[in-house]
Amino acid sequence: MLLFSISACLLFILVLRILKLYRFKKIYPVNTTSEFNFINTDLKQAPFSFLKNIFWRNDISIGEPTGQQILQHELTHVKQKHTFDKLFMQIILSVFWMNPFYWLIRSELYFIHEFIADEKAVNNKDASAFAAMLLHAQFGKTIFSPAQSFFYSPIKRRLLMLTTSKQSRLSYTRRILTLPLLATVLLLFSCTLQKENDMPIIQGDTMQTFKFTPPKIVADTNFVTASFPGGHDAWQKFLEQNLNSNIPVDKGSPPGTYKVIVSFLVDANGKVSNVKAINNPGYGTAEEAVRVIANGPDWVAAKNNNSPVSSMVKQDITFQVSEQ
């Protein structure tokens, strides 16, 4: 009876965590695309993903190369449906929680998920770019299981796998089949590894400890941001021909500068969607800025390692009202 009670409690906790994720989805603004739902939050635990939902943290710039790599990391979890694996494993653990073997399998399964996503985000296995991606944000205090948290796996193991793996094309099925063997090896050699990697070395009256030194971070030159076709001059000409710059005047605005920041998604084919104004100076400026971008041409998609990728873009449009 006690075993069934504990299993029921674990299942109940799992349901509560899932409901908590959907409560976050209702609280924060959601941008919906055909591939995923982008939810911009102020959660310290973000970024993380659950099903088609990517929970982002608003202090991470999505326009920078590291931000784009994190987005590709989470998109990999979404596209490969890693949430279903996690949910299945959570249910198994809720029923067979007393068996330590299943806990080892879950740990390795989650690590494999992270390695697959890391590999997609940093295709050239550049350890410095990967380190920059990890250090771009701070660690959260809690993991919203069964959400797929970007910062879940140990950094050392992820760096090691990314930089030393030579068989990156192994199928997902083969990786899963190796889990029992991995779990057994970890069990047999855990004490040895702990002693070699973590224990201090005592020599006479002094104690020396090993410290992990991250690789030198250099600028990532493999990412190219999305851009308007034809460059800056073409963008200015497009605005001159399509933007109603008299909107604030027509609505009785006083003289001044009205700057609107518009965010939108440019997919891998250059299609523009989810156009929204981040701020609204008033007098119809935000609505006009959104309209002109939403009705404009396709953009040139961002590229990661010369491959087109989806990206979030922020674009400024400024209205100038002069003294009469």
The predicted-structure confidence for 170-191, as pLDDT tens digits, reads as follows: 445 555 555 565 555 455 544 4
Closest CA to 111 of 173, 186, 161, 73: 161
Q: Is the pTM above the cut of 0.85?
A: no
Tokens representing residue 280 in the block: 């609204």
Beta strand spans in the chain (E): 30-32, 37-41, 48-50, 53-57, 148-149, 201-203, 206-208, 223-224, 256-266, 272-277, 302-304, 307-309, 311-321
Q: Tell me, what amino acid is at 98?
A: M
Q: Tell me, what amino acid is at 308?
A: P
Does residue 249 contact residue 240 with C-beta atoms inside 8 Å? no
Query: Domains plus CATH for the chain?
Result: 2-197 (no CATH), 225-321 (3.30.2420)
Closest CA to 187 of 286, 99, 63, 261: 99
Question: Cβ neighbours of residue 298 under 8 Å, at least 6 residues apart?
Answer: 229, 269, 270, 271, 272
Could you read off the pLDDT tens digit of each residue along the chain, which spans 324 residues? Answer: 788 888 899 899 999 999 999 999 899 888 888 788 999 898 888 888 999 999 988 888 777 777 787 888 888 889 989 999 889 988 988 888 888 888 888 888 887 888 788 777 766 555 555 565 565 544 433 444 566 554 444 555 565 555 554 444 444 555 555 556 555 545 554 444 444 444 443 343 433 333 334 444 344 446 788 999 999 899 999 999 999 988 988 888 888 899 999 999 999 999 999 899 999 989 999 999 999 999 999 999 998 888 898 888 999 999 988 876
